[in-house]
Amino acid sequence: MKQIFEETHIGGLTLKNRLWRSATWMNMADAKGHLTDRLEQVYLDLARGGVGTIITGYAFVLEGEQPNPGMLGIYDDSFIPEYRTFTEKIKAEGANIIMQIIYGGSATDFKPEGREIWGPSAVPHPLFKIVPSEMTKGNIGTVVEAIAQGAKRAKAGGFDGVQIHSAHTYLFSQFLSPYYNRRQDEYGGSIENRSRIICETLEAVRKEVGPDYPVFIKMHCCDDWEENGLSVEESLFVAKELEKRGISGIEFSGGNLDVHNYPNAGPIRGGILKPSSQSYFAEKTAQIARHLNVPVISVGGHRTPEKLEHILNTTPIGYFSMARTLHSEPNLVNRWRQGDQGKPRCVACNKCWDKDGNICILDRASR
């Protein structure tokens, strides 16, 4: 019987347990994307709290393209020395540390005026209302190369791996969606074409970091958006193509941000205190995982170790990542491991976000 607290390996990476901290935007980096003491402490608390593998909040790869404030940056070599010091501290606490890298696109309301925002097609984002400029093939090449160079810098900075963000209506997620992607060239139309930019990016990253460095991706199992979104079958096609090209593992999220027509169908869902409402992407993720050979990480409403071990032993899902629960209670994994499996402190209220830093609302008065 598999257990969430057993040691496993992904390539040359040793994982002390099957629990991951999913990438979470903390809004605590400085204006240029550099680490602050406050942000570093967040990651140290997580590492000391027992989670086996930490994925940082997304880091932007082009200096002029930042979808949210307070994000980490990885757009030039000036970041490498500080990240090397930072990653050494995290690994000394017994956790792996992986950097998530991104081009954001129109999923933004952060200073959109005065900068060109790229997208697969010039269609409005249903939540943010931003209409991007349709990317030229030159623009596509720029993003592919920027992500590859970001991965190379992350490796030089001591990160145990990188994760390419292709979920939550950021640029690569948009390329996969028939709503956002209405192109008539080789990057639009069929799922083979819509996934081309992602496959090209993985190939470019592999050229920079080598065949053995852990490279993960975060993508959707399904957009839950009918004809506008990525389906489970299409997601499987993309995952198999990435598997051919050397992806190390896939974290599956899901949902869409058409909040007016599809309330509570996004990636961060409320009202999940009952076990029946939790782990809400696991079923569709398992449908895909049955056809893959690479490790699969499930994210989305994981709150109880008993349910996670049931999924672990009845599906091909091998790992579980959590965001809000660890956001509120970084010591949760230690608590579970020590036998206290009481309810998480987090109640999935989704009030974590604040202009002065994204922290649990229960802690805001003391910060």
Looking at residues 12-32, what average pLDDT do you find?
Answer: 97
What does the pLDDT read at residue 98? 98
Write down the H helix ranges in the chain: 37-48, 80-92, 137-156, 171-176, 191-194, 196-209, 232-244, 282-289, 305-314, 324-328, 332-337
- Rounded distance between C-alpha atoms, residue 63 and residue 145, angstroms: 14
- Amino acid identity for residue 250 in this structure: I
Residue 304 lies in a domain: yes
Per the CB < 8 A criterion, the answer to whether 177 and 228 are in contact is: yes
Residue 192 lies in a domain: yes
Confidence of residue 342 (pLDDT cuts 50, 70, 90): confident
One-letter amino acid at 336 equals W
Q: What is the mean pLDDT of residues 142-151?
A: 98
Measuring CA to CA, how many Å separate 247 from each of 218, 221, 294?
Answer: 11, 16, 8
Q: For 101-113, how does the pLDDT look when each residue is reduced to its tens digit (9 = 90+)?
A: 999 999 999 999 9
Residue pair 11/342 in contact by the 8 Å Cβ criterion:
no
Question: Does residue 367 register a pLDDT over 80?
Answer: no
pLDDT at position 313 over 90 = yes
Whether the predicted pLDDT of 302 surpasses 90: yes
Total domain count for the chain?
1
* Residue 1 covered by a domain: no
Q: Is residue 237 part of a domain?
A: yes
Q: Which amino acid is at 304?
A: T
Domain containing residue 201: 8-366
DSSP 3-state assignment of 224? coil
* Mean of per-residue pLDDT scores for the chain: 97
User: CA torsion, points 351, 220, 4, 40, in degrees to nearest 10?
Assistant: -50
33 lies in a domain? Answer: yes
Q: What are the pLDDT digits (tens) for 66-96?
A: 999 999 999 999 999 999 999 999 999 999 9
Residue, of 353 and 200, whose pLDDT is higher: 200
pLDDT, one tens digit per residue, over 120-144 is 999 999 999 999 999 999 999 999 9
User: Could you tell me if 112 and 130 are in contact, meaning their C-beta atoms sit under 8 angstroms apart?
Assistant: yes
User: Three-state SS across 57-78?
Assistant: CCEECECCECCCCCCEECCCHH
Give the pLDDT confidence of 170-224 residue by residue, as tens digits.
999 999 999 999 999 999 999 999 999 999 999 999 999 999 999 999 999 999 9
The answer to whether residues 187 and 140 touch, using CB atoms and an 8 Å cutoff, is yes
In a domain, 2, yes or no: no
Is position 156 within any domain? yes
What residues form DSSP beta bridges with 20?
53, 321
Q: What are phi and psi of 162, to 5 degrees?
A: -125, 155
- Tokens 């081009």 -> residue: 103
Per-residue pLDDT, 366: 58
- Tokens representing residue 170 in the block: 């950021």
Q: Any idea which residue has 């605590």 for tokens?
A: 28
Interval 258-289: pLDDT, tens: 999 999 999 999 999 999 999 999 999 999 99
Q: Assign residue 95 the CATH number of its domain.
A: 3.20.20.70
Query: Could you tell me the CA-to-CA distances from 115 to 106, 111, 112 in Å, in that order?
Result: 11, 8, 6
Mean pLDDT in residue range 225-242: 98
- Does residue 3 belong to any structural domain of this protein? no
d(CA 242, CA 138): 23
Q: How far apart are the first and last CA of the chain?
A: 43
Pairing of strands 319-322, 296-299: parallel
